[in-house]
Amino acid sequence: MRNVENIPSEVMTLILLKLSVISLLRCKCVCKTWYALIKNPSFISTHLKSHNNDDSHLVVRNCNYNCDPAYPFLYAVFIDKTLKDLSYQVLDSQLPIPGELFGPYDGLFLLYQKEYNRIYLLNIATRETRALPQCRFVVPNMTLATRFYFGCGYDPLSDDYKLVFLRQFSDENGYDDVLDSHVSLYSFNNDSWRDLQVAELRRYFWVEYSSQNSYLNGVCHWLALREMGSKYVILSFDISSEIFQEIDLPTHPLNGGCSMLEVVNDSLYLLTGSYNPEFEFSIWMMRDGCWTIRLTSTHDYENGPMRYWKNDTIFMSHGLGAEHLLLLDLNSKEEIDLGIPWVARDDVFRYNESLVSIKRENDFSEVFDIPWHVFGVI
């Protein structure tokens, strides 16, 4: 240990920053100095930012897990970041309740169980979980809570993470009109919810589910359809000022195309596909408030781009009749069949490991958290 302590602390920090979360958790037990360093919020945030886009892992949800014996999991993380080796680690036993994952936000996933309106936070790298208090709301008369959306991010002003939970209520017949909406905000530090009064949210008819983790520089973004059938815009929410705004898209992907919003390499990326007359993909990138086109590529697939991966490859679902997830290189047009069962757009996640802690002081919940499948409930 003496030798280790002779290394200047700045050098030690640089070395530790290169390690994975799992190695750092082990290093925490080596000595008090390392323990203090690895727990330090500024180390945690530098470690998170020192990833680059190539460091992300693939997480998938497998909706067909009951009928595909080759892939008997609901959620799994793929270990090799280049996807040359397709071994994976199943995440199901880490989920304290059955539900749907959203995110990730700075490496944190959100687990939502709609029927009981229960929300958990999960850090799958550190295996921490946190049950959030119930977010109460009243469903207005003659409506149904038909849609919900999440966003989450860090507020540097209050040094706090905030989770925003949007709900839209339609009439009892379903999807036609948004009659009312409700916005709640959860503060990680306060461990409590509060309501925000936002009337204009009613104007946004449909928010694209797959864009729910497009958080960048203190702002959450969703791809939304404004006033049914009119146009797609980006709905943004500033985590510090708590203000919603609208951002225009560079094109209007409505005409026969589909689109996807996400954060790649610290920029907002918009992937669109449309017929022109061949099927054409475009990747737009927003830098300093302006959209620039990064790439266009034609391809004979009818399914749109699912998610950007790395090095100008995107995930595609396979064409008619086939069941696998494909990786398409937009430059060489090469396709790689990953053999992973077909998944929908919002079932593919790019994930950076993080040390961000979600455990609260004096939180014993983990001790009592018996995984749901032990009881075979629900």
Return d(Cα 122, Cα 111) in angstroms, integer.
Answer: 7
**Residue 11, phi then psi, degrees to nearest 5:** -65, -45
CB of 91 to ligand NAG, least distance (A): 16
Quick check: 254 and 274 in contact, CB under 8 A? no
Nearer to ligand NAG, 82 or 173 (CB): 82
Q: Does residue number 141 form part of the binding site for ligand NAG (CB under 6 A)?
A: yes
CB of 261 to ligand NAG, least distance (A): 13
Return d(Cα 218, Cα 169) in angstroms, integer.
Answer: 27
Which part of the chain contacts ligand NAG (CB under 6 A), choosing from 30-38, 123-131, 232-240, 257-265?
Answer: 257-265
Residue from 52, 48, 124 nearest 89 by CA:
124
Quick check: 349 and 76 in contact, CB under 8 A? no
**Residue 114, phi then psi, degrees to nearest 5:** -65, -45
Q: Does residue number 134 form part of the binding site for ligand NAG (CB under 6 A)?
A: no
Identify the residue among 23, 52, 217, 296 touching ligand NAG (CB under 6 A): 52
Quick check: 127 and 120 in contact, CB under 8 A? no
Q: Does residue number 197 form part of the binding site for ligand NAG (CB under 6 A)?
A: no
Amino acid letter, 344: A
Identify the residue among 18, 26, 49, 333 touching ligand NAG (CB under 6 A): 49
Which part of the chain contacts ligand NAG (CB under 6 A), choosing from 3-11, 23-31, 48-56, 219-227?
Answer: 48-56
Identify the residue among 23, 190, 292, 331 touching ligand NAG (CB under 6 A): 190
Identify the residue among 46, 217, 265, 292 touching ligand NAG (CB under 6 A): 265
Place of tokens 């100095």: 33
Q: Does residue number 56 form part of the binding site for ligand NAG (CB under 6 A)?
A: yes
The count of chain residues that interact with ligand NAG, using the rule CB under 6 A, is 23
CB of 314 to ligand NAG, least distance (A): 12
**How would you list the strands of the sheet with 143-155, edge to edge?**
143-155, 160-171, 178-187, 192-196
Place of tokens 């280049």: 82
Nearer to ligand NAG, 225 or 316 (CB): 316
Which part of the chain contacts ligand NAG (CB under 6 A), choosing from 25-33, 172-180, 271-279, 346-354?
Answer: 346-354
Q: Does residue number 211 form part of the binding site for ligand NAG (CB under 6 A)?
A: no
Which pair of tokens denotes residue 361? Answer: 């002081």
CB of 146 to ligand NAG, least distance (A): 18
Which part of the chain contacts ligand NAG (CB under 6 A), choosing from 6-14, 44-52, 114-122, 173-181?
Answer: 44-52
**How would you list the strands of the sheet with 267-275, edge to edge?**
258-264, 267-275, 279-287, 290-298
Nearer to ligand NAG, 194 or 231 (CB): 194
Return d(Cα 241, Cα 230) in angstroms, integer.
Answer: 28
Classify 284 in phi/psi space as left (phi over 0), alpha (psi -120 to 50) or beta: beta
Q: Does residue number 20 form part of the binding site for ligand NAG (CB under 6 A)?
A: no
Q: Does residue number 310 form part of the binding site for ligand NAG (CB under 6 A)?
A: yes
Quick check: 274 and 18 in contact, CB under 8 A? no
Q: Does residue number 266 form part of the binding site for ligand NAG (CB under 6 A)?
A: yes
Which part of the chain contacts ligand NAG (CB under 6 A), choosing from 71-79, 172-180, 251-259, 344-352?
Answer: 344-352
Return d(Cα 207, Cα 110) in angstroms, integer.
Answer: 18
Identify the residue among 18, 194, 231, 360 touching ligand NAG (CB under 6 A): 194
**DSSP code of residue 360:** P
Identify the residue among 3, 82, 197, 255 touching ligand NAG (CB under 6 A): 82
CB of 302 to ligand NAG, least distance (A): 26
Return d(Cα 155, Cα 157) in angstroms, integer.
Answer: 5
Nearer to ligand NAG, 182 or 350 (CB): 350
Which residues are 88's β-sheet partners?
Answer: 78
Which residues lie near ligand NAG (CB under 6 A)? 49, 51-54, 56, 82, 141, 160, 162, 185, 187, 190, 194, 263-266, 310-311, 350-352
